[in-house]
Structure 1
Amino acid sequence: MGDVSARLPYRQDRPARPAPARPPRGRWHDAHAYAALDLGTNNCRLLIARPQGPGFAVVDAFSRIVRLGEGLAASGRLSDAAVERTIAALRVCADKLKRRNVTLARSVATEACRRAVNGPAFIERVHEETGIRLDIISAEEEARLAVLGCHALIEPGGGPALVFDIGGGSTELVLVDTEGPAPRVIDWHSAPWGVVSLTESAGGGEDAEGRAKSYAAMRALVADSMAAFAARLPRGVARPRLLGTSGTVTTLGSVHLGLSHYDRSAVDGLIAPASAMRDISRSLAEKSIAERAKVACIGNERADLVVAGCAILETIMDLWPAERLGIADRGIREGILRSLMGTPKP
């Protein structure tokens, strides 16, 4: 992993700007359409865009929670139900790819397919039934694409910054040097815990005491999995900078803002106090699933998994004690698009 070439200007304490406007009439259909599909342990996400200026303009998108890795920790296999849910979502993606006349696309699968013994068979079935060719990427490639997609939101400053992506089955951490003309990856680590795998391994607790024990157990598992990386991190950094890209951080950012529904323009690029993120994490960990489901921007779909994300986030903030947390609603898909459109690989 080397330099990440910046395609967007650095931004400071403000929400992300609105999505780029459509190019002038007459040029739009002349531009090539590119697509990026990210199939994770928990989500299936598609982004279709056309080049615009130094970046791109989104013309279509799709996101669905499919829980492909549900039950994987216990069985080592992708379950039949999870496979059916996922293929149904991928059929929607395939239809969008055809209707948008995409000229170049890359579709990747991550931790669930890396781990599952039937991962290759699933990839083959997806191609047969949808025409989508999924590439099972390594954890290192996953980390590289995440950085490429979101590094423009790293706060300006000296010294290294830590970028992390909390997934469904794993968490990628990347230490980035921003001193040069383009960010450079110094070190990286993939921890085998994401919101699905950690919930299935250590989640639970029906009463307050049980929930507290479960949260402590999750924190301990994550800390142990990141210990080697933590030992390599530099000490005495004057102002550690931290940027997260995942459903966990965007959800907590929404809760921090008190949003009644998710608003990407308010969350992508948000910089929140780390102390506030800890307070929200601990508050959610104390609630029952039913209580969490009533919190705006969490709901039933995220109520059972969000606490595992909180445990991972708090552990990351322990090992890299930044005062503020940058939040990005962008990552692997945007990294793929920038690669397809010509951004040099890190």
Structure 2
Amino acid sequence: MTRVAAIDCGTNTIRLLVADLVPGQGGPTLAPLARENEIVRLGQDVDRTGRLDDAALARTLAVVEDYAARVRELAADRVRFVATSATRDAENRAVFIDGVRERLGIEPEVVSGDEEARLSFTGALSGAGADPGVARLVVDLGGGSTELVLGTAAPEAAVSMDTGSVRVTERYLADGVTPATEAAARAHVRALLDLAGRSVPVERADELVGLAGTITTVTAHALGLREFDAEAIDGARLSIEDTLASCEAVLHSTASERESWGYLRPGRRDVIAAGALVWSEVVTRAVERTAEAGAALTTTTTSLHDILDGIALSLADRS
């Protein structure tokens, strides 16, 4: 049996998955041994400066060093490190790449938005109960980018939008949510969705699946959870009305309310309003487009299987 280690380094969070690849008739599945994540905010101010901040680099590379030790401890046979939006956008990304190589002993990959989307779709499809015959619109809402992927058994159309919880916070909501800043942020997301619709026929979606921290937080809020509960969140189906109501409540929540939510980690509290805004716009657009096509999206589905699982599964094809 092959043991793999996948690391996903995004704008806000860096995560590790170590798992055994289990052969199966429909392809390999994952038997996880360890899942770890840390909020490091690698993308701090990248949208404004075009560079990775020195302090953010130090925070992230310290976690990479810890992950490298964990990978060695668990004796992974194959390792893949994927960096996404913040690293793609940074002119000094070579410093980060060199630092990862030095600590992990492999070449990190700064993947394109299209590859990020493909990996997210593969990961989402690996979740228990996923029906490969359904036209699924998978949304991976990150800190710096948001991927929309449409497909059934495999991706058929994909686009990466330069928007996410950190980027929208820094551009529009850093000083709080007001009617004016909210309107500006929504206009930004809607314009990007207009462009995305040229590449991804959202109206063909039978199911809307959301991935990553913003969407799991909105789901936990809608479910009335006190703490993060993976079993309750993974595969949870919410009505469109409940999803949008939760987005609205999170967007306009107070600091004390966010502090009271046991499922919301401190490093995400300052950007969760922006993330909820982006998710609400994506959901609204998907509902509008499918309705125009004579269909109806009535629910959203949340998956804890995402790009990290996709990275791990991609190692099945690597010798």
SS at match of 1:164: strand
Q: Which residue of 2 aligns with 1:190?
A: 160
Q: 1:275 to 1:155 in 2, by over 3 A?
A: farther
The aligned residue for residue 111 of structure 1 is 85
Partner Cα separation in structure 2 for residue 240 and residue 219 of structure 1: 25
Deviations 1:215-240 (CA, angstroms, capped at 9, x unpaired): 22211111111212225554865x73
CA distance in 2, matches of 1:212, 1:205: 12
Match of 1:175 in 2: 150
Shift of residue 250, structure 1, vs aligned partner:
0.9
- Which of 201, 208, 213 aligns to 2:171? It is 201
User: Any runs of at least 4 consecutive aligned residues in structure 1 with deviations exceeding 4 A, and if so which?
Assistant: 152-159, 231-237
Cross-structure match for 1:19 = none
Q: Contact 1:204–1:214 at 8 Å: present in 2 too? A: no
For residue 117 of structure 1, give the secondary structure of its aligned residue in structure 2: coil
RMSD value, Cα:
2.1
What are the equivalent positions in structure 2 for 1:71-82 lying under 5 Å apart?
A: 71-82=45-56
Give the TM-score normalised by the residue count of structure 2: 0.88
Quote the residue 1:288 is aligned against.
254
- CA gap of 1:236–1:330, structure 2 versus 1, over 3 A, is closer
Q: What do the CA deviations read for 1:226-280 (whole angstroms, capped 9, x no partner)?
A: 212225554865x731001111111111112222211212211111112111101
Tell me if the contact between 2:135 and 2:150 (Cα under 8 Å) persists in the aligned partners. yes
Q: Which amino acid aligns with 2:281?
A: T
Q: Secondary structure of 1:125's partner?
A: helix
CA distances 1:137-166 after superposition (whole Å, capped 9, x unpaired): 111110000001112458659773211100
C-alpha distance in structure 1 between counterparts of 2:235 and 2:105, whole Å: 35
Q: Among 241, 261, 268, which residue is 1:302 paired with?
A: 268
Matches within 5 A, 1:237-248: 240-248=206-214
C-alpha distance in structure 2 between counterparts of 1:231 and 1:320, whole Å: 14
- By percentage of residues, which structure has more helix? 2
Q: Where does residue 223 of structure 1 map in the other structure? A: 190
Aligned AA for 1:335? G
Q: 2-side partners of 1:340 and 1:129: how far apart?
A: 20
- Cα-to-partner distance string for 1:44-85 (whole Å, 9 max, x where unaligned): 000001123531211112100010001111111111110111
Structure-to-structure mapping, 1:1-346, within 5 angstroms: 31-54=1-24, 55-153=29-127, 156=131, 160-176=135-151, 178=152, 183-206=153-176, 210-231=177-198, 234=201, 240-321=206-287, 322-342=297-317
SS at match of 1:168: coil
Q: Separation in 2 of the partners of 1:197 and 1:249?
A: 16
Q: How many residues align?
A: 304
Give TM-score scaled by structure 1 length.
0.82
Q: 1:337 offset after TM fit, Å? A: 1.6
* SS in structure 2 of the partner of residue 296 of structure 1: coil
Which amino acid counterpart does residue 201 of structure 1 have in structure 2? Answer: R
Q: Which runs of 5+ in 2 are unaligned?
A: 288-296
Query: Identical aligned pairs, as a percentage?
Result: 32
Q: Which whole-Å CA distance do the structure 1 matches of 2:285 and 2:132 have between them?
A: 19
User: Is the 8 Å Cα contact of residues 202 and 286 (structure 2) preserved in structure 1?
Assistant: no
Stretch moving more, 246-255 or 35-44: 246-255
Contact 1:155 1:326 in 2 (8 A): no
Structure 1 residues 112 and 103: alpha-carbon distance in aligned structure 2, compared to 1, 3 A threshold? same
Distance 2:172 2:301 in 1: 28
Tell whether the 8 Å contact from 2:186 to 2:278 is kept in structure 1 after alignment: yes
Quick check: 1:211–1:286 contact (8 Å CA) kept in 2?
no
Partner of 2:293: none
Aligned 8 A contact 2:159 2:200 in 1: no
Residues in 2 aligned to 1:74 and 1:95: alpha-carbon distance in whole angstroms: 34
Letter of the structure 1 residue corresponding to residue 35 of structure 2 = A
C-alpha deviation, 1:342, in angstroms: 4.0
Decide whether the 8 Å contact of 1:77 with 1:117 is kept in 2. yes
Deviates more, 1:285-294 or 1:58-67: 285-294
2:150 maps to a residue whose letter is L
Determine helix, strand or coil for the equivalent of 2:51: coil
Q: Which runs of 5+ in 1 are unaligned?
A: 1-30
Question: What letter matches 1:258 in structure 2?
Answer: G
